[in-house]
Structure 1
Amino acid sequence: ALYILYHIFEVLGSFIAKVLEINPKRFYSSVLTDIGEGDLINQGRLTNLSEESNEIGILANSFIKMIESMKKLISGIVDSSDSAASSIEVVDKIASDVTESFNQISATINDVAEGISEQASSTQEGHVKINEISSKLSKITKDTKHCNLMTQDALELIAENSGKFEEQKAKMKESIDASMKVSKAIKNLASKTNEIEGIASSIEGIAEQTNLLALNAAIEAARAGDAGSGFAVVADEVRKLATQSTSATQKINGLISEIQIGIKTAEDEMSRAGVVVEEQNKAVDETVSAFDEISKKVDKASLTLNEISDETVVLNERASEVVKTMENLANIAEENSAATEEIAASTEQSLENMNNIGSEVSALVESMSTLRSSISRFKIK
């Protein structure tokens, strides 16, 4: 635009010079050269010519108006360039700040993406562990139910054995009674040694009864198992004594002294047998009491196992709910990871665009600097 204005001034100047019959070179030297150098202030000759009332004055006025228009144009360009330069500086700063912000956002998004990736990995690991816990809870529930069934069987067995112990106590009482009878019979035998035949007959009868009772006691002791082993020994000894008594009655005429010794021995053995029977009876009572206590403990254990079974069922249900939640979290984490990758890619693209904008702004700043340098050569004030 300035180049075109310059040539317009050149043409008009030549025309005015011809009209005034002025040498064009001198006119260029005095007017156009100043304009060409940017001096739009010192145009006194044109001002003088503008006072003419002829065509020369009209042309000079037109020339002056064009110079004024050029001043306004250049002034507007200067103002616009100043404003544009300020705006460009602001834009450049904004672009720089935005670029820095995008760099920070990009770094943050990368950190978030890494965190989401770690979260997804942790969520998946948690999902696997929860499944393991759920599987173990299922096994615990199954084992607890099995233990509960075993405790029920134990309770039934305890109840059955408790009944047998009561029977054993009754048999023990019978044995004690029988032992007392044997003892009494032996004492009677000792007091009636003079009535050998009668006593021998009595002893033979008592011996048979004792043998039968000893057999019954041995049978009951065998049924009692380990708890009746001691009494089995006593019953066997009683049976032996009964046999000895029978043999003694057959030889009573020649073995009176031996009978007396046998009676004494029988008394001692019965005394010891009574002690053993009492101890066995006490042991049976203690065993029954122990079985009662065991029954209570097992019953309590059964109740506890039922509670554990119920709790494990609830825990298993909660674990299943947690598994579903972990699956949802894993899916969400995967979706977030994908979305974050897309955001990161978009941010990288935006960052690249902002870098391009920054480059364009820098080029524009350089162009504006060149323009201001070119305009500064004009003097308009």
Structure 2
Amino acid sequence: MEKQAKTVSAWQYMGRTVILAGLGSQLIGIGVILGNGITGRAVLYNLVAIFVGGALLGAIIGGANFRRFVVPMKAIINHVAFIAQGDLTVRLKETNLRALGPLGKTLDGMVESWEEIIKQLDVLAEEVSEASRELYQAADQNSQAAGEIAQVMQQVAGNTEFQMERTNVGVNAMQEVAQAVSGITGTALAVAGTSAKAAQDAQQGEVTIREAVSQMGLIDQVATDTISLVKLLGERSQEIGRILEIITDIASQTNLLALNAAIEAARAGENGRGFAVVAEEVRKLAEQSEQSAKMISELVEEIQAGAGRSMEAMSGFGAEVNNGRKLVEEAGGIFARILVSSQEVAEQLQGIKNTSEDVMGQVKEMAASMEKLRDLTNETSGEVQQAAGAAEEQLGFIEEVSSAAGSLSEVAERLKQSVKMFKI
């Protein structure tokens, strides 16, 4: 080693030791002088003598200690400096270390242990470097393989999802077909029921039509009888009108006679007063009779007018009744044809219902098969997704291993560089 370690020189060490020994002896001398009661010049002499003696003793002891400890320490410091610079080949000579021989032996043992450790670290670093390179290569190959596997699994997962979507579409379509067939069957049943009800209603309608025709005949007869009665009422009203005319004439004549009687009673004076009262009463009765006759005449005229209108209405009603009877008879024929058609439709609908039920059974079987296929595809898709996820996780793990292998290789290289710093 070019540069030597610096330590304290012998003169510096001796000077410090002599000064410390002299001062210590002076303190002891002062204690002795004070203890013995020495005074005068004897104090100075004693102090000088004690100082010189202490200094000589310190120089002797310091020189011995310098040779025993300081000189060997220089060799130890130099040795530690070599170790600090990585040189583990230097050894201390225990015979030259005097009192520090055990320390030198311990340092040599420590250096030998370090040397062995460094050798092992060198071998280990080489092995780790080689292993990390192999691991990196294997991880790289596995990463490529895992990437291909993950890609294939993703494609398989995509195909499985597409197949599951198509299967779902098929299942939905079969369900819609099943619903449609079920709706057709239900509609056929409903129409069959409605057709049967229509046939029953048509049959009942035919009966009702026959009853209506019979009833229309009765209504026609009643209308004819009513017309006859109305005609008779008109004739009786005319007769009542003629009678009322006679009554009105009689009332008018009675009124004139009462006026004449009142005039004659007035001419008779007192003798004709009672007759005048009777004539006045007769006149009033005649007027009331005439008014009543007029009122009855008006009522009879209204009855005649109503009878005339009734005659016209009943004549029209009779014609309408005849037309209605013809229409009802035609409706009866239509109902008969409807009854026949309803029976034919009911038979056809029964055949449609049977066919729809057969188709419905087949559609249900196909729908159940499609649902099983969908469930199986769904399970397969889940397993493929899990496998794809596992492949991706494995790829990530391999990438982590590859990264760790790279880091380990770098650490091994740094360790080798660190080991190279030591000289063994």
TM-score range, shorter chain: 0.3 to 0.5
Which has more radius of gyration? 2
TM-score computed with the length of structure 2 as normaliser? 0.37
TM-score computed with the length of structure 1 as normaliser? 0.40
